[in-house]
Amino acid sequence: MDIIFYHPTFDTPWWIAALEKAIPGARVREWKSGDNDPADYALVWHPPVEMLEGRKLKAVFALGAGVDSILSKLKAHPTMLDPAIPLFRLEDTGMGLQMQEYAVSQVLHWFRRFDDYQALKNESQWRPLPEYAREAFTVGIMGAGVLGAKVAESLQAWGFPLRCWSRSRKTWPGVESFAGTEELGAFLSQTRVLINLLPNTAETVGIINGKRLEQLQDGAYLLNLARGVHVNEDDLLAALNSKKLKGAMLDVFSREPLPADSPLWKHPRVAMTPHIAAVTRPAEAVAYISRTISHLENGDAVTGQVDRQRGY
């Protein structure tokens, strides 16, 4: 079995050694320009078109939870990847726990009014504030996939009212479910903390805009853990400046790295991190890939395959 590997920043020698150890008989090589030798599987992140074009592969694995970079290249270069070749994304592989940590810590930060206390500290004010009512601090999760389910599960332990919104209705215990564009307004209207975990598709680009932000409860918060293109940043700034939104925590942006002249840097009610909410954990990823390849070779059922039409 031959596997080609390409990632512009990963420790490629470590990955090759780990994959060969986890997959008996596998020959793993780093793909470089001009390498047209046969391969059975490709493991990639932002792959060059020439790496995949014309190859007869059993499957391609994206080395992350999102596949939008591959799908966007496919739009420009439809022959890059034969439609019959399965495309897989990493399912969880440690990302679920990281998302849980991030979401729980930020929701509690806002619920306990630590943002307000930091603002008072900056003004040298010693002033206890009224507590928020837990039953009124509803958390709404946009995107009800593997990571959305993990985040909802972690927040249930804290007793917050929970709701989710996605393309199709979910039946998560203790979570109110909304589905489809026709129910998005109702979902937002009772949401105090909006957590975005949507996939990046043509339908979700710009979905968090002025109209949708206006449908949130007054004084709501936005936590964006998915993709920057989901949020209209000008509309977000307008909602913050009008105090419709009380705060935003952003891990992703429409342009990355965030340009130095972006007003988001200096906005007093915007906090941010540099796209680190959930990173690929190598050991867990190797375990998932090796297990999935074994299932594919044996003809067993697998999970994580991407529906290219849906985009996830």
What residues are labeled active site? 227, 275
Rounded Cα distance between 301 and 296, Å, is 7
Can you tell me the distance from the alpha carbon of 220 to that of 213, in angstroms, rounded to the nearest whole number?
9
Q: Residue 30 in contact with residue 69, Cβ under 8 Å?
A: no
DSSP tag of 182: G
- What is the biggest distance separating any 2 CA atoms in the chain, rounded to whole angstroms? 69
Smallest CA-to-CA distance from 281 within 135, 97, 84, 124 is with: 97
Q: Are 221 and 248 in contact (CB under 8 A)?
A: yes
CB contact burial 279-291 (16+ within 10 A = b; e otherwise): ebbbebbbebbbe
3-state secondary structure at position 246: strand
